[in-house]
Amino acid sequence: MTAAGPAGATALLADLPPGPAVWCSGLRKRYGTQQAVSDVSLEVGRGEVVGLLGPNGAGKTSVIKMLLGLVRPDAGEVLLLGTDARRPSSRTRVGYLPELFRYQPWLTPAEVLTLHVRLSGLDVSAQRQRECLALVGLADRAGDRLGGFSKGMQQRLGLAVALVADPELVVLDEPTSALDPLGRVDVRDIVLALRERGVAVLLNSHLIGEVERVCDRVVILDRGRVAAAGTLAELLGQREVKLHLTDLPAGAAERLAAAGPVEREGEWFTVALPAEDAGTAVPDLVGDLVALGVRVHAVEPVRISLEERLLGILREGQEARR
């Protein structure tokens, strides 16, 4: 043994990298006869922005509520910031904007933030609380009762509540559902700023474009299961290239097929390229085709959007169930 007793062990533990912001395994939840969540496992790394996507009733909000101890899972384990989520202290550095955002209508925004700071048990200055309200555009309404606030303003307050207690993990459940386009841009900027500061974000949103812009990774849920998960590059990895070719000699079809599955429409060939491509597949293919004597009129990259990919995954799931 090289470490010197307990002090050495403590030093060794301190050197270990911190656990992920969120780690859950085998989450299950049934409401009556409805199996809402079946065996969901996912991870959000420190400082990572992960998008949770899926159709209505896929179990996204149930998963989020199980992570935060608001719903008791029937089975499975959850760690928040390296601590067992059954212990309330695991949520000390967690900010949460619920899908159903409502705050005490008899309080003012400033009082709501003070309440949440007190409940978090942390010491957050009044200046920092004011900054939080200013960040979401509510600085001028800090002293007004919430009773007269619009939905959009309440959602902005919810965002400030999620951010006020110096979180290391922020969980946003449909954070832009009541916001105008400007508000959506504000939320996008806030999420990007959180990522820059190393704060992990779990973002549940129906706005796929929003997710695509800010997320490092995406988890797609369908009928309570993880239908797909990965980085955007991995999920959208099936890049395609469209080629306009004439004068194809023998061997050209084999060369095209070697690059990936081919679809032909007259003189247009669409080749699905492999995900693990170092960027050489297209120039190599074009070079080989030219060497074979093929006349190459056009080469067009085909970009698959996250929306198309999501729909594809959900349709595959539907067909598999039939």
Partner 1 sequence: MSAAGTVVTVAALTLREATRRRVLLALVVLTVLLLALSGWGFSRLAAEGLTSGEARLTASVVLNLVMFGFSLIAALGTAFLAGPTLAGETESGIALAVLARPVQRWAFLLGKLTGLVAFGAGFVVIAGLAELLVVQATVGYWPPDPAVALGLLAAQTVVLLTLTVLLSTAISPMASGVVAVGLFCTTWVAGVVGGIGAGLGNDAVERVGTVSRVLLPTDGLWRGAMHAFQDPSALVQFGGGAEAGAFPFLSQTALSPAYLGWAAVWVLMVGGLAALAFSRRDL
List contacts with partner 1 (CB under 8 A).
31, 65, 68-72, 88-92, 94, 96-98, 100-104, 106-107, 115-116, 118-121, 158, 161
- Let me know if 115 is exposed, middle or buried by CB neighbors in 10 A (0-12, 13-18, 19+): middle
Q: Are 45 and 20 in contact (CB under 8 A)?
A: yes
Residue among 122 and 232 whose Cβ is closer to partner 1: 122
Please state the closest distance from residue 26 (CB atom) to partner 1, in A.
Answer: 18
Whichever of 175 and 260 has its CB closer to partner 1, that residue is 175
Q: How far is the CB of 112 from partner 1 (least distance, A)?
A: 9
Phi, psi of 321 (to 5 degrees): -80, -20
Least distance (Å) from partner 1 to the CB of residue 224?
15
Q: Are 156 and 138 in contact (CB under 8 A)?
A: yes
71 versus 273: smaller Cβ distance to partner 1: 71
> 279: which residues sit within 8 A by CB, 6+ positions away?
none
Work out how close the CB of 84 gets to partner 1 at its nearest, in angstroms, rounded to a whole number: 13
Nearer to partner 1, 124 or 304 (CB): 124
Cβ closest to partner 1, residue 55 vs residue 69: 69
The residue assigned the tokens 């890049």 is 239
Residue among 107 and 142 whose Cβ is closer to partner 1:
107
Helical packing angle, 252-259 and 281-292, nearest 10°: 180
* Region of residue 108 (phi > 0: left; psi between -120 and 50: alpha; otherwise: beta): beta
DSSP secondary structure code for residue 72 in this structure: -
- Exposure on the CB side of residue 124, measured as CA atoms within 13 A: 24
Angstrom distances, CA of residue 134 to CA of 12, 122, 186, 242: 42, 20, 12, 49
Q: How far is the CB of 58 from partner 1 (least distance, A)?
A: 18
| Minimum distance of partner 1 from residue 183's CB (angstroms) | 19
- Single out the residue of 118, 206, 133 nearest to residue 163, CA to CA: 133
Nearest approach in angstroms of CB 97 to partner 1 is 8
3-state secondary structure of 116: helix
Q: Between 70 and 233, whose beta carbon lies closer to partner 1?
A: 70
Distance CA 312, CA 310 (A): 5
